[in-house]
Structures are given as C-alpha cells and as structure tokens.
Amino acid sequence: MRARLPTLASEIYLNTGGAGPLPDVAADAMRAMVDEQATRGRMSLGAGEDARERHSALRAAIAGVVGRPQAEIAIAQSSTHAMNAVIWGLGLRRGDVVVTTGMEHPGLAVPLAVATARVGARLKIVDAGDGSGPLEDVIAAACTTRTRLVALSHVSWMTGAVLDVAGAARAAAAVGAFTLVDGAQGAGAVPVDPAGWGVDAYAMPAQKWLLGPEGLGALWIREEHLETVAVVVTGFESGEDHGWDGSLTLHPDARRYEASTLPEILLAGWTASLGWLEALGWARVHEGTARAAEACREALAGVPGVCLDPPVSSESGLVAFSVPGHGSEHAAACLAARGVVVRPLPAPGGLRASCGFFTNAGDIERLVEGVAELAAC
C-alpha cells in the first residue's frame, strides 16, 4: 500500500487531516486526462457523453463511502461549498435558531456566522468538551421550537474525537430541525452512516482522508430533503430544458446542487483514489487508521515532557498533543526540519498527527524521536 503513495518515500507524512498523500493511480489518472484534453477537442462529438459517464462514476464511488444511493450525491468544490449549499438553501429567517458546537472548523463556523448574521437568526454555541461525550442532552438543552438547523463535525479537527452525531440528530429531530454534519475529518477515516444516524446532510472533501486532489468535495443529502433545501447557487448543470428566460427543470436528484462545469482532470484523480480505497476495503482502511492512531498515542504517552490532549482514545486517525514550552508553529517547524510533517493547531502549543491505514511503526518511531529531542530542548 505504501508503494502506491509516493509521498511516504520522501518524508514522514502525518498530516492527512490537512491533505492526504495522493495515490499514484490518482496522479496517473490526472496525467492521462491532461493528455486527453490536450489532444482531443474537449467538446468534440461524444466528449460530453464521456464526461457525463465520468461524473456518474464519481457520484457512485462517493455514494459507496456513505452507503447511500447515487441520486443523493452532489459533486461540490469542497466540503465548505457543500455545507454552504445547505446553510443558505434552508432559507433561515430572523428569529430562527441555529445550534452548533464551540469546536468547529472555520469551514463550518464561518458560513454559520455569516448566514445567521445576515438574516438576524440566532447562533447558539454549545460546549461539547473535548467532543467525546454524549451530545443528545447538550444539544436538546440549546434547542427550541425556533431551531431550524443543528450543525456539527463528525470528527473534531482539534481533538480527534468522534462526535455523537446520532445523539445530536435525535435532539434536532425532536424539534423538527435539520442536521448537517461536516465530514471533513470523518469520511475515509472512520465508518460513515449518516442515514443510520438520522442525519439529513453530510459534507466531505476530496483531499483529506479520501486521498483525492484539492478543489473537490461532495454533499450527501436525504432524497426527501431535496425540496427542503432550495437551490441557491444555480447554473446550467442544475437542471435541463433551459429557457432563454433563465428557466429550467431542476434535476430530480441531488445533481440540482451542481451549478456549472466540473473539473474533469480533478474528477479523474478522485475517482481513481476512491476506486483504490474501495478495492482495499473500507473496513481495512478504517481499522488500520484506528490501529495506527492508537499506536501513536501509546508511543507519545511514553515521551517525557509530552502531553497528550484529550480524548486519549478515539477511533479517528487524529492524535492531538503538545510539548510544553514550545509554540505550535515552532514545534511543527522543528519536526519538519527532521523530515516529520504534523499540523500546528491554533491552540497554544498544540500539534496534531494524522495517522492513516498506511502509517507504519517506522513513521511513529521517527515522530517520537523528533518530539523527544524537542521536549529535551
């Protein structure tokens, strides 16, 4: 597996939570698409039909990640783009209430803040602790009959905790609210079952744990909510039967949230990455990720002067830790100089190692050696 991820030969790469290593099959697929587009008219006879088949293949591959029908998948530019489609499409009004946690990534927190401020809705931020505890009662206490949306992460980008999205969804459903989940650190790292959890929409990026290129993402949305979430960013690709007056017939499925021309080169890469992951087996990928992260926690726990941040156990691939006396940017730079790539976190002193199914004992040993040297300074 590691041989298919060329990045791993050049450095100890522990930042899949930022962007995962690109498989060689994805790089090859994108090169092939560049060659095809350079030598064949991109709108030649038949090119459009070929593109539609590629789009369908990608939607089918994404549908396999969440275990849902392809008709409930829309290709997006990023997870943030996908979440914006839902947030604005819900048509929030003055006096509405939106509930979220205090540990969200700006990719979700910023759209929520902007949307609520624009219309005069109220944004309620609950304390989810480190994210590892039950959330049903916490969310329920913040909900009222005016609550329209509950939005939260599947996995915390700060702590690596797998959040109780099922509990949050139950609390939201009790007051008739919509549940949106940011799957940026979840999809590809841990099992994903948004429909089974009672979630209404789930957004994911290509470039993180799903090992695709930057510039792509996807939205899963329950079929029954296609009329609940209005299409607010529209264009040619949103439907058919276009009229000169701008009228069209929206696609009957989630494709209605796709507005315009899709990046064919990037699509080829993500489809190849997803195909490789599916061939490996999602259970193998998820279990390998959890094992690697647990091994990393155990190894770091034995380094004097290093503090593991809670939770100290999680199914995700993210391990948060700190080296007291060393700022996060400085610590990350020192480790990078030793050939070990981790993510500095906004919290003072915080670092994050992303361990994937491809992370081996040698990677963890190099991380521990680098951290031990840093802690001894």
Q: Taking the model in full, what pTM does it have?
A: 0.97
- In angstroms, rounded to a whole number, what is the distance separating the alpha carbons of residues 55 and 99? 34
Tell me the average pLDDT of the chain: 96
The whole-number pLDDT of residue 47 equals 83
Instruction: Map residue 190 onto helix, strand or coil.
Output: strand
The whole-number pLDDT of residue 125 equals 98
Q: What region, left, alpha or beta, does residue 91 occupy, with left being phi > 0 and alpha being psi -120 to 50 degrees?
A: left
Q: What is the assigned CATH class of domain 2-22+281-376?
A: alpha beta
Q: What region, left, alpha or beta, does residue 69 occupy, with left being phi > 0 and alpha being psi -120 to 50 degrees?
A: beta
Helices (H), the chain: 24-39, 47-66, 79-89, 106-119, 136-142, 165-174, 194-197, 264-280, 282-301, 328-337, 361-376
Q: How many CA atoms are closer than 13 Å to the CA of 109, on its beta-carbon side?
A: 10
- In angstroms, rounded to a whole number, what is the distance separating the alpha carbons of residues 120 and 68? 35
Cα Dmax for the chain? 70
Cα–Cα–Cα angle for 45, 50, 52, rounded to 5 degrees: 115
- In angstroms, rounded to a whole number, what is the distance separating the alpha carbons of residues 288 and 281? 11
- Listing DSSP states for 301-342 in one string gives HTSTT-EEPSPS--SSSEEEEE-TTS-HHHHHHHHHHTTEE-
- Residue 74 parent element (H or E): strand 73-76
Name the one residue in this structure whose structure tokens are 């695709």: 212
- Band of pLDDT at residue 312, cut at 50, 70 and 90: confident
Buried residues in 77-96 as b, exposed as e (16+ CB within 10 A): bbbbbbbbbbbbbbebeeeb
The whole-number pLDDT of residue 333 equals 96
Q: Quote the percentage of the chain above a pLDDT of 70.
A: 99
pLDDT tens string 14-62: 999 999 999 999 999 999 999 999 998 888 878 888 999 999 999 999 9
- Would you say residue 219 has pLDDT above 80? yes
pLDDT tens string 246-274: 999 999 999 999 999 999 999 999 999 99
Q: What is the assigned CATH class of domain 25-278?
A: alpha beta
- Domain map (residue ranges) of the chain: 2-22+281-376, 25-278
The whole-number pLDDT of residue 291 equals 98
**Residue pair 139/150 in contact by the 8 Å Cβ criterion:** yes
pLDDT tens string 101-112: 999 999 999 999
Q: What's the mean pLDDT in 60-79?
A: 98
- Band of pLDDT at residue 72, cut at 50, 70 and 90: very high
